[in-house]
């Protein structure tokens, strides 16, 4: 971000010695692949493609790519880039799991220059508590302060 508060124009990218690239360049993202995974996931089953695209463009979206350019993983951070962030839609392609890509993706997100100094960084997970704990996430200290409004069937009604 510059002195006027404008968000930077160049992408944030981390390339490993093995050629794996992690980038927040939304133009690289394979939307069909991301939609395919998210529409089958437990947290957004049936999500329409146009909502995936809208969410991606209104967030800080990360892709993980093979040296040949195939997308292997994805994550999205909803943030004001100043005080708050919410990590969501994290997945590693089934064929690429168990190779440390989730850890590498989390390390890149954790180091992202626009996600430093945040007052609160949250996420919701069913089964990856161990991974996220490695990056400082812990159970809510005061869950009684948090509230939510949820509509789990919203995508079914929009179909």
The whole-number pLDDT of residue 152 equals 86
pLDDT bracket for residue 4 (50, 70, 90)? very low
Q: Residues with Cβ < 8 Å from 131, sequence gap 6 or more?
A: 102, 103, 106
CA-to-CA distance for 94 and 37, rounded, in angstroms? 10
Domain boundary assignment for the chain: 13-158
Pair type for strands 13-15 and 60-65: unpaired
Q: How far apart are CA 125 and CA 31, in angstroms?
A: 23
Amino acid 153: pLDDT: 86
- Give the pLDDT band of residue 9 (cuts 50, 70, 90): low
| pLDDT on residue 10 | 81
CA angle 13, 15, 20 (to 5 degrees): 115
Q: What is the DSSP letter of 51?
A: H
What pLDDT is stored for residue 28 in this prediction?
Answer: 97
- Condensed to tens digits (0 to 9), the pLDDT of residues 36-68 reads 999 999 999 999 999 999 999 999 999 999 999
Does residue 19 surpass a pLDDT of 50? yes
109 has pLDDT over 50: yes
- Identify the pLDDT of residue 157: 81
pLDDT at 31 > cutoff 70: yes
Secondary-structure class of domain 13-158 per CATH: alpha beta
Residue 79 · residue 115 · CB < 8 Å: yes
Q: Which residues contact 35 (CB under 8 A, 6 or more apart)?
A: 47, 49, 52
């Amino acid at each position: 971000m510059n002195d006027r508060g404008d968000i930077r124009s160049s992408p944030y990218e981390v390339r490993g010695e093995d050629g794996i690239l992690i980038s927040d360049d939304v133009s690289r993202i394979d939307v069909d692949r991301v939609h395919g995974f998210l529409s089958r996931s437990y947290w957004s089953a049936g999500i329409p493609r146009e909502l995936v695209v809208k969410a991606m463009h209104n967030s800080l979206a990360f892709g993980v790519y093979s040296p040949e350019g195939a997308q292997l993983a994805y994550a999205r951070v909803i943030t004001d880039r100043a005080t708050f962030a919410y990590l969501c839609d994290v997945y590693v392609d089934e064929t690429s799991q168990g190779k440390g890509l989730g850890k590498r993706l989390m390390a890149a997100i954790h180091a992202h220059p626009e996600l430093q100094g945040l007052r609160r960084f949250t996420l919701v997970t069913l089964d990856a508590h161990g991974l996220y704990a490695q990056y400082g996430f812990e159970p809510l200290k005061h869950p009684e302060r948090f509230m939510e409004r949820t509509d789990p069937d919203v995508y079914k009604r929009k179909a």
